[in-house]
């Protein structure tokens, strides 16, 4: 079951539902966190009116709060589940957001890495009393179904506010909401190492749309074509600055590890 909307809380509830954000430091998880924050502030947010058959209608703003961020630091750079470029820098992002961070390390073995995610969510339930998880899943049934399964087992709700959202729409909304996002990994021809460090701006969107038309590159990188890292957004108390970086890879598979402060 994939939930795309916030559920309505009973009028008898005196406290907000505590949420944990599945957090990689990339654009999708950060944007999902931003939308959760907006929803919790009571600001109307149409993105949670999903066409998913499992959606719950009549959601009400102002019933949620972000209690923690949950990150999996995978040793497997080819992980099926988890974003890996610059994952170690989520600590700096959490710091400027002022939100507690849970980090669980994983060997990144297929399917077994789900146990590590379950362990991280259990810790969030225990330490921060969360009742729901927010993910940045857009199109990956592989990821979303496995996250949902873990949530079902732990009796916590799962929200996917970006689910089935238009690829270009996501990038346009990031730019409109003043997200500063750079490319931290590239993994598909003809995107090469020259794209590393590029900001996702209007010119980036124009170019990636052209590549989509010619090569069927997913505009939002949902097919693993590229990964990203957020340097600034409305959730940050201060902008992060890249002070050093290291590029490594070959062909059309490159990563950039950044050092920020």
Domain boundaries, the chain: 17-159, 167-260
SS3 category, 136: coil
CA 87, 1, 31, 259: dihedral to nearest 10 degrees? 0
Which residues, in sequence order, are bridge partners of residue 197? none
Q: What is the pLDDT of residues 170-215, one digit of tens each?
A: 999 999 999 999 999 999 999 999 999 999 999 999 999 999 999 9
Tokens of 174: 């990031």
What pLDDT is stored for residue 57 in this prediction?
A: 33
Q: What is the mean pLDDT of the chain?
A: 87
What class, spelled out in words, does domain 17-159 have in CATH? alpha beta
The full DSSP string for 29-73 is HHHHHHHHHHHHTT---GGG----TT--SS--TT-EEEEEEEEEE
Tell me the per-residue pLDDT of 90-113, one tens digit each, with 9 for 90 and over: 999 999 999 999 999 998 887 788
Exposure string (b/e) for 205-239, b if CB count within 10 Å is 16 or more? beebeebbeeeebbbbbbeebbbbbbbbbebbeee
Reported confidence tier of residue 1, pLDDT bands at 50, 70, 90: very low
Nearby residues of 122 by Cβ (< 8 Å), 6 or more positions away = 154
Torsions phi, psi for 97 (to 5 deg) = -90, -20
Non-local (6+) Cβ contacts of 25 within 8 A are: 71, 83, 86, 87, 89, 90, 93, 229, 230
Domain 17-159 matches domain 167-260 at the CATH topology level: no
Three-class SS state of 27: helix
pTM: 0.88
Residue identified by tokens 């019933």 is 63
Residue 232 has pLDDT above 90, yes or no: yes
CA–CA dist 226, 182 (Å, integer): 10
Q: Are 72 and 112 in contact (CB under 8 A)?
A: no
Going across the sheet that includes 226-232, the strands are: 226-232, 180-186, 253-260, 242-250
User: Between helices 27-40 and 167-176, what is the axis angle to 10°?
Assistant: 60
Which is the CATH superfamily of the domain at 167-260? Answer: putative n-type atp pyrophosphatase, domain 2 (3.90.1490.10)
- Give 54 or 166, the one with higher predicted confidence: 166
């Amino acid at each position: 079951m994939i939930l795309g909307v916030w559920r309505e809380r009973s009028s008898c509830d005196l406290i907000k539902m505590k949420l944990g954000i599945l957090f990689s430091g990339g654009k999708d998880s950060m944007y999902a966190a931003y939308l959760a924050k907006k929803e919790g502030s009571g600001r109307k947010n149409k993105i949670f009116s999903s066409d998913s058959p499992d959606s719950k209608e009549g959601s009400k703003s102002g019933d949620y709060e972000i209690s923690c961020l949950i990150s999996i630091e995978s040793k497997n750079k080819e992980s099926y589940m988890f974003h890996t470029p610059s994952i170690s820098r989520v600590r700096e992002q959490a710091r400027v957001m002022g939100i507690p961070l849970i980090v669980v390390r994983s060997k990144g073995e297929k399917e077994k890495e789900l146990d590590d995610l379950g362990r991280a969510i259990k810790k969030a339930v225990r330490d921060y009393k969360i009742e729901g998880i927010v993910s940045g899943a857009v199109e990956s049934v592989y990821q979303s179904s496995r996250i949902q399964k873990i949530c079902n087992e732990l009796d916590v709700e799962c929200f996917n506010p970006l689910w089935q959202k238009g690829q270009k729409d996501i990038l346009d909304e990031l730019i409109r909401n003043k997200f500063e996002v750079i490319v931290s990994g590239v993994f598909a021809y003809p995107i090469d190492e020259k794209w590393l460090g590029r900001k996702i701006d209007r010119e980036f969107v124009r170019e990636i749309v052209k590549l989509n038309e010619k090569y069927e590159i997913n505009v939002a990188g949902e097919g693993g074509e590229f990964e990203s890292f957020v340097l600034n957004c409305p959730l940050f108390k201060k902008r992060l600055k890249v002070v050093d970086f290291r590029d490594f890879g070959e062909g059309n598979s490159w990563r950039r590890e950044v050092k920020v402060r």
